[in-house]
Structure 1
């Protein structure tokens, strides 16, 4: 029998939150961490682009990790440790704010509301940083006014894709050092227009992730290709260029639609 406890916190018309803790024996097996080269993409802002980010998180290890990740793509980072200080410290040079949701003194959602009240809803791109993984919770954050979200534990791929997409940035991907995602489903029976196929391949070859996402949207509008578009969108969110190339190169090309 495990030793532990369960706690329940309920709010009327909102729902219940269940938390638990258990005591587990220490593992006798060592877990080998992946080498750094396997976990980080070699990506940086293209020359001439500058980005100022603002990280808001009360846990030091969390904002230190985000600061390291953002620093690797050559953006400038400011940090504070709660929502109240974020409202006080945000300034015109900030382009995007990574906002933790649960913080003391002032939550991320309240800080979002204050920043919108003071500066307008369109002034800053604000990203919710949350452990909430359910789709309805993610939709709720977008309805609150967040421009995007990244899951905890944060990943380099999530940080890169969110930043580039929201700010419409171009990145120099010198190479992806991780393993290309497995392409489990074959789409070779599908055909797409020749000009769209050419545009997709060019975007992959030149590592233009923003353009790639635009072409994927066009692909979805053709109909009967929603599954293909969904997979390409997932791969592009992870900047998995080689997997995208494998999928696109296997598609049939139609001269007329």
Structure 2
């Protein structure tokens, strides 16, 4: 992969923003791009870095072929340990949090691609965490997978309205968790997505 010339999705991943945000920056002229004969926008990596610095836009650079980053948030240590083991074996970078407040802090520091989130936790529940992350431009791109033992119709509806991307009921099968993770992260196009 030529990482000196980026597609819109690659540029968005490099900056850890959504594709739509990157597209808006290109359309607004904040980032210089060129159009291929096939009509696709491309961005020189050096132009992207210059534009971001010039406009004072904060970004977190990631290698385009980096392993997925997953933040596991649950107040049950055994579930956290099991999921951590599962995703570490799959060559993912994994961080954990035991409550919603810690999840908010770690989502900014760790910049995960996916958060596996419990609904019922101390300090800040999964509903609040999901709404907070999806309403914040710097974290709205993060995929959120809800994993909960409280799978009522009302909870499922409320969490999807809060912005969650998928929902699994506990106890969940590892194969099901991996398949949903693959589906949520399919647009990332990682070279080493070893799921």
Same-fold status (TM-score > 0.5): yes
Q: Which runs of 5+ in 2 are unaligned?
A: 1-64
Q: CA deviation at 1:98?
A: 0.5
**Equivalent residue in structure 2 for 1:67, among 78, 81, 84:** 84
- 1:111 deviates by 1.1
Q: Indicate the residue corresponding to 2:161 in structure 1.
A: 143
Partner of 2:8: none
Look up the match of 1:83. Answer: 100
Corresponding residue pairs, total: 126
Please point out which of 95, 111, 121 is paired with 2:113.
Answer: 95
- Whether 1:159 and 2:187 are equivalent positions in the alignment is no
The whole-number CA distance in structure 2 between the counterparts of 1:166 and 1:62 is 21
1:9 matched residue in structure 2 = none
Task: Tell me by how many angstroms 1:153 deviates.
Answer: 1.3
Residue segments in structure 1 that go unaligned for 5+ positions in a row: 1-47, 174-257
Q: CA deviation at 1:138?
A: 2.7
Instruction: Report whether the alignment pairs 1:56 with 2:73.
Output: yes
Within 5 Å, give how 1:77-226 maps onto structure 2: 77-91=94-108, 93-119=111-137, 122-135=140-153, 137-168=155-186
Deviations 1:210-232 (A, max 9, x none): xxxxxxxxxxxxxxxxxxxxxxx
Give the superposition deviation at 1:120.
5.8
Higher normalized strand content (fraction of residues)? 1
- Does structure 1 conserve the Cα–Cα contact (< 8 Å) formed by 2:119 and 2:150? no
- Once the two structures are superposed, the pairs formed by residues 238-257 of structure 1 within 5 Å of their partners are none
SS at match of 2:171: coil
Cα root mean square deviation, aligned: 2.3
Find the residue that maps to 2:112 and give its secondary structure: coil
1:58-83: per-residue Cα shift (whole Å, max 9, x none)? 11111111111112222111001100
